[in-house]
Chain A
Amino acid sequence: MKGWIEKYLSVVRMTWIQTLEYKANTIVGAFAIFSGLAIEFLIWKQVFQAQGATEIRGFTFNGLIAYIFLCMIVGQLKSSWATSIEMIESIRTGELNKYLIRPVSFFTYHFMMFVGHNSLFYIVYTTILILFPIMLPGFAFMTNLHVGGFIMALLLSIYLSYAIYYCMVCFAFWFGEVRSLVIAYNISNIVLSGQIIPLRLFPDTARDIIYLTPLQYLVDFPVSIATNQLPMELWLPKMAVSFAWCVAMTLAGAVIYRAGIRVYGGFGA
């Protein structure tokens, strides 16, 4: 077990060295969400002004912006689409052989790479999150319990998101070029998981359909906990469902990977 941990921690360490090497990339990556946030802020300001409303479906303007802001941070932290594209490439070009002949797991290795690359964002975003209740008091993280619940839900979200991407990645064994699938999922995910409009504002049918999928656990769930919009008695049952989705997606990924590796030709290499 200790060896296992050390092995994968060294992957994380490697990605840090690599990330630090490229200053500009790091800086752009850490602050990328702010342009999206600015646009959301301006649009909703117009909407609230035009309607002369103080509340839309229970959201005040500030409450809505705080909610969207948190959603964007969570969305950024959980999104492993860049890692997924790399994984597809390695299956397509036969670079996967590199993992097959070494005692590492394709799944875990890339999960650690993803965590490593993202950890600089974690640092920046954690700072923002700590400042959040100080700058905008009363919108999020009312108690320590909320902080704890948020972190739990966030960890589940990060893992679940990766496991979903992984299932899609493994289709590359059959179809080679599945980047479009991943990109299409990524684009629709940004809206459908509630990353730029809260799920609560969706038309009812659309929302009901989304509630049947794991999508609500990716962004909406952790943020609803943080902003105290989910009654506490629902936390544990929802976490259980989220956890069940994690298990289901991991199993699905493993099954698809096993079947895929049989048809894998080791092309190119």
Chain B
Amino acid sequence: MPIRVNALSKHFRLFKREAGLSGAFRSFFNRKYEDFHALREISLDIEDGEILGILGENGAGKTTLIKLLVGLLHPSSGQVDINSFTPWNRKTAFLKQISVVMGQKNQLWWDIPASESFLLNQKIYEIEKTEYDRRLKELVELLAVEKKLNVQVRRLSLGERMKMEIIAALLHNPKIVLLDEPTIGLDVVSQSKIREFVKYYNQQYGTTFLITSHYMHDIEALCKRVFVIHAGKSLYDGNFKELINRVNPRRKLQFEFSEIPNSGMLDSLGNEFEFELKDTFLRAELPDSDLTRLVTQLFKLSSPASITLEDLPVEDTMRSFFANPEQFLQ
């Protein structure tokens, strides 16, 4: 089910509230509205089996985009075509092919065991009994929640609850799954369990995943490709690594000398590159091209006792990106 999004725009009429009690009183009789452009001319193609990360700050338009893709909203203009379905017509055949998991809302019924809600989904999605049993068994084993199936949802930990939500969303074998902040509030172990699962499931079934997350680790681990929205506009569509490189192309080098070279040679290197020297260690944060040249020079000076090369933390990079996104994408 390839997804084709063409020049999609959405604006809302927002009720403009005045502050204070007298403002509330005035608004009671005379409401003022203003237009808010949540999405402007978004175009996007997603192929089968992709895992696409949708990035953007709070209020950038991520949720609006997702709601449009699953047909919860009508656009102001533009088209979405998902395997020749238009989402907001909400045809039964279309709804059976998609699924949404929201980290901050639950579809499972709070007071009863998850297994009861699964059973209900079997009826709603008309999943054949044998198929249902098979899939349930498989998903439950993959996520290791066999023992929790018959426990009331309210007694589950947050991580277990999220796993149950994911099972409920996948039982009908959807072709497209939208994960909206699936790891929010989870501990590090649960986060990585869910990431591993999504990765495995995607490879096994070729299901398309669209993910929004504030944890860059989620995106880094899962998505080759990301789509960045900023103030309702499409800002970047492409490889995640490349984006990181563009924002902060530098990497961290640590070069350990087997013997300290004479300081004159190092000084002349110091004119050309920026680095820091401590005992037998040389540390530098430079773009790749500079790093290659630096390492070549260093090899000429001395043989290394050890070399390590690492990326800068993704979270930091993305934070500086969102602080001023346009600057990096000129």
Contacts and interface: CB of A to CB of B under 8 A. Distances in A.
Interface string A15-36: 0110011010010000000000
A258 interface: no
Contacts of B17: 21
By secondary structure, the B interface counts as: helix
A23 B21 contact: no
Interface string B1-33: 000000000000000010011001101100000
B21 A17 contact: yes
A26 B29 CA distance: 12
Contacts of B28: 20, 23, 26
B26 to A, nearest CB: 9
A17 B17 CA distance: 11
A29 to B, nearest CB: 14
A200 interface: no
Contacts of A26: 28
Which size bracket describes the interface of B in this complex? under 10
A26 B21 CA distance: 16
Contacts of B21: 13, 16-17
A17 B27 CA distance: 10
A16 B21 CA distance: 7
A26 B28 CA distance: 10
A19 to B, nearest CB: 9
Interface string B229-240: 000000000000
A176 B35 CA distance: 46
A13 B25 CA distance: 12
Interface string B37-81: 000000000000000000000000000000000000000000000
Nearest to A26: B28
B132 to A, nearest CB: 34
Interface in A219-253: none
A21 B25 CA distance: 8
Most buried by B among A16, A17, A23, A26: A17
Nearest to B31: A23
Contacts of B20: 17
Nearest to A18: B24
A137 to B, nearest CB: 34
Contacts of B27: 20-21
Most buried by B among A13, A20, A23: A20
A85 to B, nearest CB: 19
Nearest to B23: A17
Interface in B291-305: none
Contacts of A17: 20-21, 24
A23 B24 CA distance: 11
A42 B25 CA distance: 37
B254 to A, nearest CB: 48
A26 B27 CA distance: 14
Contacts of B25: 20
A154 to B, nearest CB: 25
Nearest to B25: A20
A162 B102 CA distance: 41
B149 to A, nearest CB: 24
Interface in B63-117: none
A17 B24 CA distance: 6
15 contacts: A13-B21, A16-B21, A16-B24, A17-B20, A17-B21, A17-B24, A20-B24, A20-B25, A20-B27, A20-B28, A21-B17, A21-B24, A21-B27, A23-B28, A26-B28
Interface of A: 13, 16-17, 20-21, 23, 26
**Pairs of residues from A and B, 8 with the lowest C-beta to C-beta distance, nearest first:** A20-B24, A17-B24, A20-B28, A17-B21, A13-B21, A20-B25, A16-B21, A23-B28
Given A17-B20, A20-B27, A21-B17, 9 more contacts: A13-B21, A16-B21, A16-B24, A17-B21, A17-B24, A20-B24, A20-B25, A20-B28, A21-B27
